[in-house]
Chains A and B, each alone.
Chain A
Amino acid sequence: MESLTGQHIILIIHYFFFVYGFLAIGSYLFLTVVSAFETSEYVKKNKFVDYSEILASSISPSISIIAPAYNESLNIVENVRSLLSSHYVNYDVIIVNDGSKDDSLELLINAYDLVKVNYLVNKQIPTKPLRAGVFKSTNPAFEKLTVIDKENGGKADALNFGLNVSSNQYVACIDVDCLLLEDSLQKMIKPFLEATDHKVIATGGVIRIANSCTIKDGKLLDVNMPKKMIERAQILEYLRSFLLGRMAWSRLNGLLVISGAFGLFDKKIAIEVGGYDTKTVGEDMELIVRMRRVMEEQKVKYRVAYIPDPLCWTEAPDNYRIFISQRNRWTRGTIETLKMHKKIGFNPKYGALGLLSYPYWLIFERLAPIFEVVGIIYFTVLMMLNYVRWDFSLAFFSLAYLFTLLLSIAAIYSEELTYHQYKKKGTGFKLLLTAILEPIVLHPFVLYAAVRGNYDYYFNKKKKWGVMQRKGMGTTAT
């Protein structure tokens, strides 16, 4: 009798993993197909857009680029120059120096002829106070630049200060070390201006990996494939995530995340919902979820748009230590956001947001690493008890592996058929090789970081509310 229940339990566990795996594969397949449709439509429609018209126009709406900086003195002068070289006409750049302990401010003052100006801040969102004050350039060539020096309060707090200061209709929140292509702003603003029967609350952009690319004077001159496997594997990962996943979610109007490294927001709405949350490490995801939540509650017809063009390039971690700490932070951000807004989950009042996006994120993003670890432990136990049918396991492993590989190849196809950034001979092969190796060389670290994130969230309280640590190379792409 007892062994029978034991067997039952084992059977249930098996079925659980089987169904979970089946659903995961099914949902990925579904998203891939949706993204294929959306991509082909986007490319077709985009052919008719003459961006040069809108770029020159002084009647186009005003945008502020808000870039928080913390101890970025190494590259800050160059980075600001790149931000100032956008081709859009009606925009300004707000650099928020978030209590940096280095000489960022002095460097900026010298490079851009800055002087302190009188400034009255409309404190719509509470933030940490100013430190040295607000600076503008005396050189008319840099009239678009405002530098704010405030006391340290973290990235979210710095962005909020930028929201308070901006007098423009839209804000582009970006990481200061990002390289924006010159036509980024007009491409990102387009969804806002095109909508007639609904409101666009935010547009998300793609993050591309700039490692090994040739950059001069804030311009991307040449796209190269980096040498290290960890960098290449991330390129593939980003392609999968941005060209397949997000593209599909944008079609379903279910995007929950806009990359903190580059997103454009309707400022009025962002302020109305209270700006960025300073208490989470996942402030980029949390803001979007909150904005969507408020829209749903106010019954406004809205959309979160997405532009798949390669507009924003940034350095990705090139060693495992930084990579793990970055992913650890993303994991905690996801957990916190989902927890803060658990009211939305499985709640038909929130429409597709509650019934589709939220559950997907919970089950396949938030819980996947946990299930995976449980699976591994379970398998180890079976192995020790000598219960493993190795030939059966081989069947499942090969299915899982081949499916992952197929998804990566689909992402490579998507890239080749649309933007084809990696033009050089031999890079196609390198990408393929990466796709073949990635499950072995990168995935274990992704899994480890996710587990660490969970551990830190539940057991390491000090880190939970800790000040965001920004490494020179650190980026936020989720």
Chain B
Amino acid sequence: MDNLKKIVLAEDNSTLSLLLKFRLEKEGFQLFMAENGKEAVNQIETNNPDLILTDIMMPYISGLELISHVRNKLNSKTPIIVFSSAGQEEMVLKAFNLGATDFMGKPFSPNELVIRVKRILS
């Protein structure tokens, strides 16, 4: 079981994160959930995931701060996919500058997300 790929998912919309958890677990990944940026940082530090999925707008620590923390403080190259909503184009640019790997604009199709996740982790 140890060789399951680990994913940390930081998303404050509980329904969406539940949906994605089910979907990704079905695909054979191990999921660690976080409702806000603070929890996400904890999950990342304890579980050392293979991939991070994070929303850009979150309470306490935003997705941007999260990326910056992973890249600069933890010095980790773990791929990061950010979710953004309409009107956050500026933030997406900042996210890429900080070192995000990929982004998905909401509303997105979960199937597409799975494809991208698989591609990054293969």
Contact = CB atoms under 8 A, between A and B. Distances in A.
Does B bind A? yes
A56 B87 contact: yes
A56 B87 CA distance: 5
Nearest to B65: A217
A413 to B, nearest CB: 29
B60 A52 contact: no
B63 to A, nearest CB: 15
B86 interface: yes
B86 A56 contact: yes
A261 B3 CA distance: 59
| B60, B85, B87 interface centre (most CB from chain A within 10 Å) | B87
A55 B87 contact: yes
A55 B87 CA distance: 8
A184 B85 CA distance: 20
B59 to A, nearest CB: 8
Interface residues of B, number: 4
Contacts of B85: 52
Contacts of A55: 87
Interface residues of A, number: 6
Nearest to B59: A221
A221 B60 CA distance: 8
Nearest to A55: B87
Interface string A172-199: 0000000000000000000000000000
Interface string B78-97: 00000001110000000000
A432 B86 CA distance: 44
Contacts of B87: 52, 55-57, 89
A132 B67 CA distance: 39
B58 to A, nearest CB: 12
Interface in A343-402: none
Contacts of A57: 87
Contacts of A52: 85, 87
Contacts of B60: 221
A151 B85 CA distance: 44
Interface string A446-458: 0000000000000
Nearest to B88: A56
A139 B77 CA distance: 27
Interface of B: 60, 85-87
8 contacts: A52-B85, A52-B87, A55-B87, A56-B86, A56-B87, A57-B87, A89-B87, A221-B60
> Closest 3 A-B residue pairs measured CB to CB?
A56-B87, A56-B86, A55-B87
